Structure 1
Amino acid sequence: MTQGQRGGRAVQAAERRAAILAAAREVIAERGYRGVSLGAVAERVGITQPGLLHYFPSKEHLLVAVLEARDRWDTAAFLAGGSQSWRLSHLEQLVEYNATRPGVVQTFAALAGESVTGGHPAREYFVERYAQARGRLTELLRAEFGERLAGGRTPEQVAPLLIAVLDGLQTQWLLDPEAVDMAASFQDFVALLGPAGGTAD
């Protein structure tokens, strides 16, 4: 096989993988997390289920790939204005945006819960994602508030709490969307952190 043929097959594989992820997003949006099946995704792409398994060996692997792609899209979309790093305003916009895509939020919440079990296909994704999120949010909080936030807490101390608020609000909203306004509640939490650029102690 020539190098050109190998390159052509790689491009075809990447395109097929992207088509599968796009189909999975559509199915998630229409049916929610529990309604996703490999058969439904394969049918939408126009391939067999064994063909889909060539790219993603299980439903969990496919859904993790959807979440990884979502992370990349969100970062590209919210940093498109030229900013080199996330700001609290970006997080507020992201919370509002997530309220328009309950299927993906449901997938994230469900897989996050399942991933705490040993050997789950999503475990590595969530361990790495939360580690990266703690680091990035520490930088974000330091840029917004300085070395100390309300109560004298450091950005390193508050970053895990910020993640807990984001994930906890998503869970409450999924369970009772009429009672929980994610965007408003997150803005209320941000107000508790202290004035931007402050050194509260």
Structure 2
Amino acid sequence: MATAAAPRSPRRSSGRPRGADSAARREEILATAARLFSAEGYRGTSMSAVARACGMSQTGLVHHFPTKDDLLQAVMDRRDEIDAARIQSPGDGRPRGWDYLAGLVDLVRHNQGQPGIVRLFTTMAGEAVDPEHPANTWLRRHHRSTAEQIRAALAEAAQDGRLAADAPVDSIARCLIAAMDGLQIQWLSDPDHPDMAEDFAALVDALRHRWEA
């Protein structure tokens, strides 16, 4: 007589959400590519070099990022996401008005402890001024987005009655972006350069003293 089949035990869950391994691998690739791009430049870094540094095949790499341009775009977008999150106030969201500009000072101060990230930005920005460079679109979008955030913060200050009516909002935004980018270059190139966050804070304070109502 045939015996009844024993009931199958349910498959055990690994305890990891579906796609968690893939997401972790993607983050590893982005971190590795950022390090190589900052050290060797975009043009000096091959996909095979990124794959080797990650301990994977180039086929595995292109599964996540089909081209080097795709990889570069993801690396730079990830950097901007991290910077944007850094300015957020926990539980409060984006700082308002002049407090947003104070958040930019905190971001500059934080970046002093992240020389690799700063080097990545300055390296990519230097190459991406070429309109034919694959990061040129990112660079223009990055500067436009940063300017829009600064203008929005100043518009909030105006709404709160804390900005002079004749404040040159567009000029302030451009000068702050130029200061952030330029201070990073000086700080990277000169080991004796003083605290760039203090320099940037001085500029923000001067602008606030001049234009706060």
Q: TM-score, normalised by structure 1?
A: 0.76
How much has 1:95 moved relative to structure 2?
Answer: 0.5
2:40 to 14, 34, 42: 34
String of CA shifts for 1:123-148, please: whole Å, max 9, x gaps: 11111111111111112234347443
How much has 1:57 moved relative to structure 2?
Answer: 1.4
Residue in structure 2 matched with residue 4 of structure 1 by the alignment: none
- Unaligned 5+ segments in structure 1 are 1-7
SS at match of 1:195: helix
SS at match of 2:191: coil
How much has 1:12 moved relative to structure 2?
Answer: 6.4
Amino acid at match of 2:206: L
String of CA shifts for 1:23-44, please: whole Å, max 9, x gaps: 335x45xx95228844443234
CA distance in 2, matches of 1:32, 1:137: 27
Identity among equivalent positions (%) equals 33
How much has 1:66 moved relative to structure 2?
Answer: 1.9
CA contact (8 A) 1:139 1:155 kept: no
CA distance in 1, matches of 2:169, 2:81: 24
Higher-helix-fraction structure: 1
Residue in structure 1 matched with residue 201 of structure 2 by the alignment: 187
CA contact (8 A) 2:125 2:139 kept: yes
Structure 1 residue 109 corresponds to structure 2 residue 109: no
Residues 181, 10 of structure 1: alpha-carbon distance in 2 compared, 3 angstrom cutoff: same
Residue in structure 2 matched with residue 3 of structure 1 by the alignment: none
How much has 1:64 moved relative to structure 2?
Answer: 3.6
Residues 157, 118 of structure 1: alpha-carbon distance in 2 compared, 3 angstrom cutoff: closer
2:31 to 19, 22, 25: 22
Structure 1 residue 148 corresponds to structure 2 residue 158: no
How much has 1:80 moved relative to structure 2?
Answer: 4.4
Structure 1 residue 89 corresponds to structure 2 residue 102: yes
SS at match of 1:81: coil
- Unaligned 5+ segments in structure 2 are 1-16
Q: TM-score, normalised by structure 2?
A: 0.73
Residue in structure 2 matched with residue 57 of structure 1 by the alignment: 67
Could you say which structure has the larger radius of gyration?
A: 2
Structure 1 residue 137 corresponds to structure 2 residue 150: yes
CA contact (8 A) 2:32 2:53 kept: yes
CA contact (8 A) 1:23 1:45 kept: yes
SS at match of 2:209: coil
CA contact (8 A) 1:61 1:121 kept: no
The aligned length equals: 186
How much has 1:182 moved relative to structure 2?
Answer: 0.6
CA distance in 1, matches of 2:147, 2:71: 25
CA contact (8 A) 1:138 1:156 kept: yes
SS at match of 2:56: coil
